[in-house]
Amino acid sequence: MEDLLSQLYAQVLTPSIPPLSSEHQQRLQQCSIDENSPGTILRDFQTLLDFLHPNGTQVSGKNNLFPLKLLPEINSRLSHPIQTNLKRPQQKSYPYINGLYLLLRASGLSQVKHKGKKQILVLDETVLQSWTNLNPTERYFTLLEAWMIFGTEEILGERYDLMGNLFKCVQFWSRLPENGFSIAKYSDQREFSYSPELYNIALLDLFGFLSVQSGQPEAGQGWRITRLQPFGDAMVRFLFTLCGKKDFTWESQGKVNVTFGELQPHFQSFFPEWKNNLILTNNEFTDGIYVFKVSLEKAWRRIAIPANFELDGLSDSILDAFDFDNDHLYQFIYKDRFGRRGQISHPYCDELPSTAEVCVGELPLQPGDRMIFLFDFGDHWEFDMQLEEIQPPNAKIKMPQILKRYGEAPSQYWDEEEDWEEDEDWDGDDE
């Protein structure tokens, strides 16, 4: 998959973006970064950090987005507040908020925790301290990497997009006239909602790559863009040309533990102030007895399993608990602390990591988190799993245990004899 993406980037980026000239290199060397330059990304990101409640901010249950009632206030505090005439504007109706939220999650500065049935967005104090120790240049490139490398659309509650933000942005940038262009009516900006998407346009503005002029929205409409003007061409050309090289890949993309600083070797000659990187708390093995509530249709089972069991063992326990034969491929699908989709598949799927390599205690889950056990890619049995608690290690529990059963499990296989009897009884009258 990484090779495919590398080839696509090379095909699209290389011919689309002219190489970096000596004039552009000089501009990069003369570029200074502070909270208002080259864009207002640092100021607005700090505004969002300051807005979050010290004890956490409640977010929506499914996609973990900001509640509607908070959006107007956040919008009013930003350097680019937008106007909207929508009756119930959602987070994506405010592209600057949506983009900043993406960075907030993708940077690892925040994570969602469970408090009863509520989902609470909290700041990671350890990571926040690391962020505080960074200078403006280091913060700028941390957020740039969070956007371009780790900022998947799943964080915003959308479907996974293979191409990612970089691919969309360079395609969009390559179509922009050097002198910019005006947008006469709403229908002319409709395509931006699909590619590169409005939150990416907002981020291009915040990072100083693009100048956006806004207008008055019409009744029942959202953000109105009236003009787009390319701005940070030197930074954009260098970044896009770098990523367009045939041998270029994001080493950290898709990994459980995120490491910042991939762009540092390439940009440091232009920005010698970039010396340190944001340090995250890595996912580590957590010992104990993991208690899962596993549901399938109306039936559920409560299963306890020691942390040192591989996910193959967890799969066996689930299938045994529901009287299923273990004769098909499967995978576990979860959301990590960044809100990104992760999956661990059967060894025969030829995808890494495999269920034979990952232990239960290595899952990036906390009590209250859910994941999906997808069994049999043909019949698509989807088991809902919730981690209810992690009990202290118990030497007496050496094997998985079924603590409770509720409801009758559905039949794994189609009952041909039963269907034949129904056909025999049918008299031809649909009524």
pLDDT in tens, 217-262: 988 999 999 999 887 778 887 887 777 665 556 666 656 678 999 9
- Does domain 289-412 fall under CATH 3.40.30.10? My reply is no
Burial class (CB in 10 A: 0-12, 13-18, 19+), 116: exposed
Return the minimum-mean-pLDDT range out of 336-340, 390-394, 416-420. 416-420
Q: Where in the chain is the domain with CATH 3.10.290.30?
A: 289-412
Tell me the pairing of strands 289-296 and 224-230. Answer: unpaired
pLDDT digits (tens, 9 = 90+) for 350-367: 888 899 999 999 999 999
> Position 3: which residue type?
D
pLDDT above 80 for 306: yes
- The pLDDT assigned to 252 comes to 60
Average pLDDT over residues 256-284: 90
Distance CA 298, CA 287 (A): 31
Q: Give the burial string for 196-226 (b: 16+ CB within 10 Å, else e).
A: bbbbbbbbbbbbbbbebeeeebeeeebbbbe
Per DSSP, the three-state class of 244 is: coil
Q: How many residues does the chain have?
A: 431
pTM of the predicted protein model: 0.89
List, for residues 154-184, the tens digit of each pLDDT value. 999 998 776 788 888 888 888 888 888 899 8
